[in-house]
């Protein structure tokens, strides 16, 4: 542990990719850490920018890796985006550029999904079956005045097949064509974190955001007013941390080499 400014947590918001797993490989100690949080009764939610998979599938993936998880502990950018629209405009018509997880979240939030025809919102996430006619439809709605909501701004996604273009790359195309900039929901936006805080029922000051990425996890947690715990399990290493701190202009409240060190620290803070 390099330094810490963290106060005793009453709940945790936990990033997934690079924090608990890489692709289909569990990160060392992730299973024990989550089991330990359950044992000491510290509430937590898994918070992901991924909009493509429904919470049940995200939980099933964690379970396959030996990390205990249930769907109601998963917060996705798709759910937060749907909740954001439903809050501003209950039952609004929405045209979706995205996958099953996004469509399910929008329907669950009471939004009216429109494939063809007018829609008040264009809600876009990652769509791995995007084609020209879908782009055409979305651009036409945006040019006609639809509001543009983007689930997450990730330009590249790590995968077992290397880096893949993410929702943010597709958004660059839609916003270039339409001239409309989206409202961004996922990290580094604080909107996803605010939604997760409502779900966990805690104030930002009572909660830590835990993740491996300075520009998304730590930035979102910091922006929302949470404590921020950086784990060096993924993107950030001791070597590149100074670079990311300079790039983002911020420091995490705590830095932990791995999940065991983080767990030990949390247990000591909780006095267990």
Could you say which of 15, 73, 99, 147 contacts Mg ion (CB under 5 A)?
15
- Residue 212 interacts with Mg ion (CB under 5 A): yes or no: yes
Could you say which of 17, 99, 147, 154 contacts Mg ion (CB under 5 A)?
17
Could you say which of 11, 18, 166, 188 contacts Mg ion (CB under 5 A)?
18
Question: Which one of 12-20, 58-66, 89-97, 118-126 is the stretch in contact with Mg ion (CB under 5 A)?
Answer: 12-20
Task: Tell me the closest approach of the beta carbon of residue 62 to Mg ion, in angstroms.
Answer: 14
Closer residue to Mg ion (CB): 18 or 254: 18
Question: Which one of 7-15, 38-46, 84-92, 162-170 is the stretch in contact with Mg ion (CB under 5 A)?
Answer: 7-15
Classified as helix, coil or strand, 62 is helix
Task: Tell me the closest approach of the beta carbon of residue 15 to Mg ion, in angstroms.
Answer: 4
Which single residue brings its beta carbon nearest to Mg ion?
18
Question: Which one of 9-17, 128-136, 184-192, 225-233 is the stretch in contact with Mg ion (CB under 5 A)?
Answer: 9-17
Structure tokens at 92: 């609004």
Active-site residue, 131 included: no
DSSP string covering 203-271:
-GGGEEEEES-IIIIIHHHHHHT-EEEEETTSS--TTTHHHHHHHHT---SEEESSHHHHHHHHHHHHT
Alpha carbon distance, N-terminus to C-terminus of the chain: 19
Interior angle at CA 181, CA 177 and CA 184, nearest 5: 130
- Cβ-based neighbours of 137, under 8 Å, separated by 6 or more: 95, 116
- Residue 9 interacts with Mg ion (CB under 5 A): yes or no: no
- Cβ-based neighbours of 114, under 8 Å, separated by 6 or more: 93, 94, 95
Active-site residue, 239 included: no
For the annotated catalytic residues, the residue numbers are 15, 17
Using CB under 5 A, list all residues that contact Mg ion.
15, 17-18, 212-213
């Amino acid at each position: 542990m390099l330094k810490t400014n963290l106060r005793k947590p009453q709940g945790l918001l936990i990033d997934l990719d690079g924090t608990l797993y890489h692709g289909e490989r569990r990160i060392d100690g992730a299973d024990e850490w989550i089991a330990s949080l359950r044992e000491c009764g510290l509430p937590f939610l898994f918070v992901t920018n991924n909009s493509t998979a429904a919470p049940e599938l995200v939980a099933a993936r964690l379970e396959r890796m030996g990390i205990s998880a249930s769907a109601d502990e998963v917060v996705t950018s798709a759910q937060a985006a749907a909740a954001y629209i439903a809050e501003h405009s209950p039952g609004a018509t929405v045209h979706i550029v995205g996958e099953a997880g996004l469509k399910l979240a929008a329907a669950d939030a009471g939004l009216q999904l429109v494939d063809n025809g007018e829609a008040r919102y264009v809600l876009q996430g990652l769509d791995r079956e995007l084609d020209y006619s879908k782009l055409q439809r979305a651009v036409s709605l945006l040019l006609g005045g639809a509001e543009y909501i983007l689930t997450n701004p990730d330009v590249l996604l790590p995968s077992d097949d290397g880096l893949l273009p993410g929702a943010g790359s597709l958004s660059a195309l839609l916003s270039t064509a339409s001239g409309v900039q989206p409202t961004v929901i996922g990290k580094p936006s604080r909107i996803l974190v605010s939604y997760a805080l409502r779900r966990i029922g805690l104030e930002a000051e009572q909660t830590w955001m835990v993740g491996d990425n300075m520009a998304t996890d730590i930035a979102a947690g910091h922006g929302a007013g949470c404590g921020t715990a950086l784990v060096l399990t993924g993107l950030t290493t001791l070597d590149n941390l100074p670079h990311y701190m300079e790039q983002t202009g911020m420091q995490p409240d705590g830095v932990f080499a791995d999940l065991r060190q983080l767990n030990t620290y949390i247990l000591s803070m909780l006095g267990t």
